[in-house]
Each structure stands twice: as structure tokens, then as C-alpha cells.
Structure 1
Amino acid sequence: MSSNANEIFIHSHNPTSNRFAILEDNESIAFLYLTEVGTQRPIKDAVAYSRHPLALKVDWEKIKEKGDTPPLSKDVASSEAVIANPSEVEFSFKWSSDGNAVALLRNGKPIAFASASEKYGFSKAISKPSPLANAWDQGLYEVTFGEQP
């Protein structure tokens, strides 16, 4: 049985804003990060997907206490949350014209985005707002990235 169970770490630099976009997949869960201007320090994020079946519930206090990466749970996840065997070549980034927002694309279709002007990122893996991200907002995506439906 072959598997793509490797960590994925890809990034992109935007020369206009001097920010980086990072996709980090630790073989369990993947996050899209948008960095502070001029650094690689993430300031905004959005969960992109989970490789594993969804958790029943997240103990946020335990996560905070241990500093662990939170899993996606059934109570906030959408039907698109699990990508069991992702491959690095499936992913790319799309920047807003000012470079202050970035979207993660899988096979050319957006699955998550983060913006410096929004408190939380947005993800198709989420069905309702959570500390991991907001549910996908197609209208905001189109305005942010200059796309028409």
C-alpha cells in the first residue's frame, strides 16, 4: 500500500506586501499561515484540512495547556474537511493584489484563505465559526481576490 503520508511545507513570498504564505501539513492537520510584514512569523491562519477522521470533540483547555495542535472536530467541520492523502503538487497560493491576503488552492480551486484585515481565516473545511477558522465566505473571497462568480 503506497501512501503520501509525508509532511508538506510550502511557501510563497509576496514582493508587494513583503509577507509570506505558508502551508504546513504535519501529517495530521494542515494550516495556511499569513505572516507579519517582513518576517516569517505567522499572524493569521486558517485550518486547511485534516488527514485523519474527525475528532468527536476538542478539549480547548487541554490544547492550550499542552500547546498541541488542535484537531478538526465533527461539531465544526464540513463535509470537505478530510483530505486523506494530499500531495504537495496539488497545492498553490493566490495572492490579493495588495499582498495582504492569500488563498490556498488545491488543484486550482480555493480551499482556505487568510487576510491581514480579518480576525480569523476562512476555510471550506469548516461549517461554522471556530478558533480554527470561519466557514467559507465566497462573497468575501471574490471581493478580496478580484474574482467574479
Structure 2
Amino acid sequence: MADHGFMLNACNSVSGRLAVVEDNGIVGWLYLTETAGRKPVADVWLYNRINAPAAKQVQSYRGSPPPAPTGFVTDAAIQTPGEGDSWLFQWSEDGESVALLRDGQAMAWLSADSKSGYTRLLLKDGPWGKQWDQELFDRLFADADSREAKS
């Protein structure tokens, strides 16, 4: 996981959807694609690798995934993934939802029926995603251990 970024993905055998982590060296995002395709239908911000910019500076990142700005992120928003990190995609039973685990801790999750996903590092809902919902996460991913796909 070099400083220039990385990409991880996994395909669900039930739904045919692809989960993709994209880290461009500035920011990390999680995407869920359409069935048997590569077009994203849902996304969620994972972390910034840089200090959170002011909200008015976010537009300067047009053309690439934007970092989340100050006022939206927790103090833990700056992350630097390393070579020793363990990444895991955890799928719902129907393959329509996916969670991303880093070193055993769920970071974020997406569902095909909602354009925005849920992430632990947001202070409030916005264009980067929604605040974590543990109850909904538990309902969707109960007994998911047998459906995990390592990457």
C-alpha cells in the first residue's frame, strides 16, 4: 500500500456486484457496482490521507474523488494504510450490501438500494456518506462470517 494509492476489489457470487476500494493517495472511497457491471451505484468516503480541507476548497478536487472537509470528519479521519493492513469485504446474505473491514474493524458499508453508504469517521451526513448506524449494520451483516471474501 504505497503512498501513491491502491485499489482492492471483490465480486459477490450471489449478486454479481463488485465492491471496490479506491485510494488515490489523497483519499479512500468504497464503491458498490451494478449487477455484473463496473458502474458504481453506491459510494462512501472512507478516510483522508491529507488534512481535511476547508469546505470551499473541496471543489478544487473535481475530476477525482474528493476528500471530506473540516466540519464533517472526526479526529481520526486522517488514515495512512500500510502494507501490514488486513482488508476484508463482508457481504450481506443476498450480496446487495457490503462492508469493508480493516484489521477486523468495520470501517464503512454500502447497500445497493441507497446511493450513499455509512462510515465511522463522519460527524454528520453529507455528500461523503452517512454517519454509522450500528443497528442497521448488525441486521444486514448478521452471521456474515461465512460470506467474507478476503482481498
Q: Answer whether TM exceeds 0.5 for this pair.
A: yes
Q: Does 1:145 align with 2:136?
A: no
Equivalent-residue separation in structure 1 for 2:56 and 2:31 (angstroms): 21
Unaligned runs of 5+ in 2: 144-151
Q: 1:75 aligns with which of 71, 77, 101?
A: 71
Correspondence list, 1:1-149, <5 A: 4-59=2-57, 62=59, 66-87=62-83, 89-146=85-142
Equivalenced residues, count: 143
The SS at the match of 1:141 is helix
Q: Distance in 2 between matches of 1:10 and 1:33?
A: 10
Range with greater deviation from structure 2 (13-22 or 48-57): 48-57
Distance apart, 1:67 and its partner CA: 2.8
Q: Distance in 2 between matches of 1:8 and 1:88?
A: 14
Say if 1:57 and 1:86 are closer, same or farther in 2 by CA, change over 3 A: farther
Amino acid at match of 1:31: W
Cα contact 1:58–1:70 (8 A) shared by 2: no
RMSD: 2.0
Change (3 A) 1:8 1:129: same
* Cα distance in 2 for residues equivalent to 1:74 and 1:95: 31
Superposed structure 1 runs of 4+ greater than 3 Å apart: 85-89
Tell me the TM-score normalised to structure 1 length.
Answer: 0.86
Deviations 1:105-136 (A, max 9, x none): 01011000010122310011211001010011
> After superposition, what is the alpha-carbon deviation per residue over 1:30-87, rounded to whole angstroms, capped at 9, x for unaligned?
0000000010111101001111111122456x359x4342221111112331113444
Gaps in structure 1 of 5+ consecutive residues: none
Percent identity between the two aligned chains? 30
1:88 and 1:41 map into 2 onto residues whose CA distance is: 30
Distance 1:138 1:50 in 2: 22
Alpha-carbon deviation of 1:24?
0.4
